[in-house]
Amino acid sequence: MPSIRILLKLNSNQSVAAPHLLPQTIDPRAQILSCAKSKFRIKATRIFLPGGEELLTPGAVQEVIRLCRERNTVGPTFLLSAGEPYVGALRPPSPAQAENRACEVHIIAGDSYIDPKAIAQLEAAAKLPGMVRAVGLPDLHPGGKFPIGAAFVSERYIYPSLVGSDIGCGMTLYLTGLTRKKLEDQNGIRRVAESLRGLETVWRTTKERFAWLGDCAAGDEWDKLVGTIGGGNHFAEFQILEQVEEGHGLCSGVVVLLIHSGSRTFGKHILETFTKNDKSVALADGDHKTVEYLKQHAQACDWASKSRDLIALRIFECIEGSRWVLPSAITPNVAKELHARLKVRRVLDILHNSVTQTLWPPHTQTHHQKPVFIHRKGAAPALQGTSFLPLPGSRGTPTLLIKPLFSEHNQNGFKNGLSLAHGAGRVMSRNEARSLSRKYNNDVKVLTEMKPMEMRNGGKGKVVTSGYVVCDEKELVWEEAVEAYKDVEVVARDLEKCGAARVIGKCIPKVTYKVRNEMLS
The residue out of 28, 60, 81 marking a domain boundary is 81
Q: Does 333 appear as a known binding residue?
A: no
- Which helix (H) or strand (E) segment is 137 a member of? strand 131-141
Residue 345's pLDDT is: 97
Residue 357 belongs to some domain of the structure: yes
Amino acid found at 356: T
CB contact at 8 A, 36 and 43 = yes
Residue 218 belongs to some domain of the structure: yes
Direct distance between the N- and C-terminal alpha carbons of the chain, in angstroms, rounded to an integer: 74
Same domain, 468 and 340: yes
**In CATH, what number is assigned to the domain containing residue 223?**
3.90.1860.10
Same domain, 77 and 174: no
The residue out of 81, 111, 134 marking a domain boundary is 81
Rounded Cα distance, 40 and 30, in Å: 16
CB contact at 8 A, 285 and 90 = yes
Same domain, 77 and 175: no
Q: Does 425 appear as a known binding residue?
A: yes
Q: Does 218 appear as a known binding residue?
A: no
Rounded Cα distance, 443 and 437, in Å: 7
Same domain, 190 and 311: yes
Phi-psi region of 249 (alpha: psi -120 to 50; beta: other; left: phi over 0): left
Same domain, 72 and 191: no
Q: Does 352 appear as a known binding residue?
A: yes
Same domain, 374 and 476: yes
Residue 271 belongs to some domain of the structure: yes
Same domain, 335 and 435: yes
Rounded Cα distance, 464 and 48, in Å: 56
Same domain, 76 and 177: no
CB contact at 8 A, 66 and 59 = no
Same domain, 188 and 66: no
Residue 95 belongs to some domain of the structure: no
Residue 125 belongs to some domain of the structure: no
Q: Which residues lie closer than 8 Å to 85 by C-beta, 6 or more apart?
A: none
Residues recognised as catalytic: 422
Residue 231 belongs to some domain of the structure: yes
Residue closest to 4 by CA, chosen among 69, 54, 51, 52:
69
Same domain, 371 and 244: yes
Same domain, 311 and 409: yes
Each residue's pLDDT expressed in tens, for the chain with a length of 521 residues: 578 899 999 999 999 999 999 988 878 888 999 999 899 999 998 899 998 888 877 777 888 888 888 777 778 999 999 988 889 887 765 544 544 456 889 999 989 999 999 999 999 999 898 999 999 999 999 999 999 999 999 999 999 999 999 999 999 999 999 999 999 888 899 999 999 999 999 999 999 999 999 999 999 999 999 999 999 999 999 999 999 998 888 999 999 999 999 999 999 999 999 998 788 899 999 999 999 999 999 999 999 999 999 999 999 999 998 899 999 999 999 999 999 999 999 999 999 999 999 999 999 888 889 999 999 999 999 999 999 999 999 878 899 999 999 999 999 999 999 999 999 999 999 999 999 888 888 888 877 776 655 544 434 455 556 788 999 998 999 999 888 999 999 999 999 999 999 999 999 999 999 998 875 44
Report how many domains make up the chain.
2
Same domain, 317 and 185: yes
Residue closest to 170 by CA, chosen among 301, 351, 312, 380:
351
The 3-class SS string of 254-304 reads CEEEEEEECCHHHHHHHHHHHHCCCCCCCEECCCHHHHHHHHHHHHHHHHH
CB contact at 8 A, 189 and 510 = yes
**In CATH, what number is assigned to the domain containing residue 59?**
3.10.20
Q: Does 410 appear as a known binding residue?
A: no
Residue 156 belongs to some domain of the structure: no
| Alpha-carbon 193 to chain mean position | 30
Q: 219, exposed or middle or buried, with CB in 10 Å at 0-12, 13-18, 19+?
A: exposed
Domain span at residue 428 reads 169-455+462-515
The residue out of 31, 49, 81 marking a domain boundary is 81
Amino acid found at 310: L
Residue 99 belongs to some domain of the structure: no
